[in-house]
Amino acid sequence: MEKTSKLGRDGAVWGLIMVAPTIIGLIVLNIWPFIETIYMSFSKSLPFGEFEFEGIDNYIEMFQNAEFWKATGNTIFFCIMTVPVGIFLSLIVAVLLNSKIRGRTTFRAIFFLPMVVAPAAVAMVWKWIFNSQYGIINTLLGLDIGWLTDSHIVLITCSIVQIWSNIGYDAVLLLAGLQNISVSLYEAADLDGASKVRQFFSITLPMVSPTLFVVLIMRLMSSLKVFDLIYMMVDDANPALNDTQTLMSLFYRESFIAGDKGYASAIVVWTVLLIGAVTLIQFIGQKKWVNYEV
């Protein structure tokens, strides 16, 4: 009896050693910086990493700042623009890639390709495509639209690029979900005379809903945190800069250009709360539509 418990303790120690690299990594790289960030958000930042505790001043300044609210609005707008459309299109692509069409593997590879390309490279190419003077879109369609400079349009332009870059990845995840659906369900539906559209809404959609839920959560989080795309597409000299700034680009500016890391941390904490709230709502809401029965 005593021997087994000793073995068990040994096992536990070995278990800890095995997971140690991950746990140490998490603590050093994620959890500790997270705690530091919260502390920093309540501090005044001095040059060279010095901090002075000052209470909620950063938050007061933040909530009174119009630029901050604009950035929050932009972030939510970007989210609304990209997530529903993006997921809808990914689902359609996934269903098409799941059907028996010629060259299916090639299509799958093509749709997944944007995911393999570095976001910076994607942004550079799209910047030329959307260039109002020499870009291919305006030239081919004979338009004169400031895709990247008209403050009302820039966020929509960025949304298009974001959706384009993510469709492949989401579609592959959904495709995996689709392939788990038993063929017998469709055969039964065929026998009952259900149309393809009816089959989609009554079988495919409910059966793929757990995967859809995962994709939705990931996509919402990543679009609330969008930075690289906007940073690459809209540079400092762009008059539309203020109208496209998201929370993360505001954070970057405050933290690394203006050097106010305390205030920047407050923006990050706010973003975390925002993402937390949105995710919480989704977990509550999922009970209404996600189907976990096979």
Partner 1 sequence: MKKISRRSFLAATAALAAMGLAGCGGSDDGTVNLTFQIWDVFQRDGMQAMCDAYTAQHPEVTIEVQVTSWDEYWTKLEAATMAKQAPDIFWMHTNEILKYADNDKLVDCSSIVETEHFSEISLANASGSDGVLYAVPKDKDTVGLVYNKEMFDAAGVSYPDETWTWDTLVEASQKIYDATGYYGYMAYGDDQLGYWNFVYQAGGSILTEDKTRGNFTDPATKMAMDFYIGLQKYDWCPTQTYFAETAPGTAFFSEKGAMFLEGDWNILPELQNYPDMVGKWDVAVLPKCPNPMSGDGRATISNGLSYATTKTNKHLDVVMDVLKFFGSAEGQRIQGESGAAIPAYIGMEDSWVSCFEQYPINITCFIDMFDYCVQSVNNAARPEWKTPVSDTLLKIYTGALSLDDGLNQMQQIVDQASAEYYEE
- Could you give the CA distance from residue 228 to residue 91 in angstroms, rounded to a whole number? 25
Asked if residue 36 binds partner 1 (CB under 8 A), the reply is no
Contact region for partner 1 (CB under 8 A) — 35-43, 132-140, 171-179, 221-229? 132-140
Can you tell me whether residue 118 is helix, strand or coil? coil
Asked if residue 146 binds partner 1 (CB under 8 A), the reply is yes
Residue-level length of the chain: 294
Q: What residues have CB less than 8 Å from 62, skipping those under 6 apart?
A: 68, 263, 266, 267, 270
Asked if residue 99 binds partner 1 (CB under 8 A), the reply is no
Contact region for partner 1 (CB under 8 A) — 7-15, 35-43, 83-91, 213-221? 7-15
Of the residues 97, 207, 240, 275, which one makes contact with partner 1 according to CB under 8 A: 240
Of the residues 259, 273, 276, 277, which one makes contact with partner 1 according to CB under 8 A: 259
Please say which residue, 140 or 284, places its beta carbon nearer to partner 1: 140
Q: How many residues bind partner 1 (CB under 8 A)?
A: 31
Please say which residue, 14 or 201, places its beta carbon nearer to partner 1: 14
Helix (H) or strand (E) holding 50: strand 50-53
Please say which residue, 49 or 193, places its beta carbon nearer to partner 1: 49
Site for partner 1 in 201-220 (CB under 8 A): none
Up-side HSE of residue 28: CA atoms within 13 Å toward CB?
6
Please say which residue, 192 or 236, places its beta carbon nearer to partner 1: 236
Segments in the chain forming alpha helices (H): 2-26, 32-41, 57-63, 66-98, 104-116, 119-130, 136-141, 154-179, 183-191, 196-199, 205-224, 228-233, 241-244, 247-252, 261-289
- Could you give the CA distance from residue 247 to residue 268 in angstroms, rounded to a whole number? 8
Of the residues 65, 131, 222, 291, which one makes contact with partner 1 according to CB under 8 A: 131
Asked if residue 132 binds partner 1 (CB under 8 A), the reply is yes
Of the residues 13, 60, 136, 281, which one makes contact with partner 1 according to CB under 8 A: 13
- Residue 271 C-beta: closest distance to partner 1, Å: 20
Up-side HSE of residue 39: CA atoms within 13 Å toward CB?
11
Of the residues 144, 192, 236, 293, which one makes contact with partner 1 according to CB under 8 A: 236
Asked if residue 242 binds partner 1 (CB under 8 A), the reply is yes
- Could you give the CA distance from residue 272 to residue 45 in angstroms, rounded to a whole number? 20
Of the residues 2, 5, 47, 294, which one makes contact with partner 1 according to CB under 8 A: 47
- Could you give the CA distance from residue 245 to residue 248 in angstroms, rounded to a whole number? 8
Question: Does residue 86 contact residue 162 with C-beta atoms inside 8 Å?
Answer: yes
Contact region for partner 1 (CB under 8 A) — 222-230, 235-243, 264-272, 285-293? 235-243
Q: Which residue has the tokens 């209470």?
A: 55
Please say which residue, 154 or 275, places its beta carbon nearer to partner 1: 154
Contacts with partner 1 by CB under 8 A lie at 10, 13-14, 17, 20, 47-49, 127, 131-134, 146, 148-150, 235-242, 253, 256-260
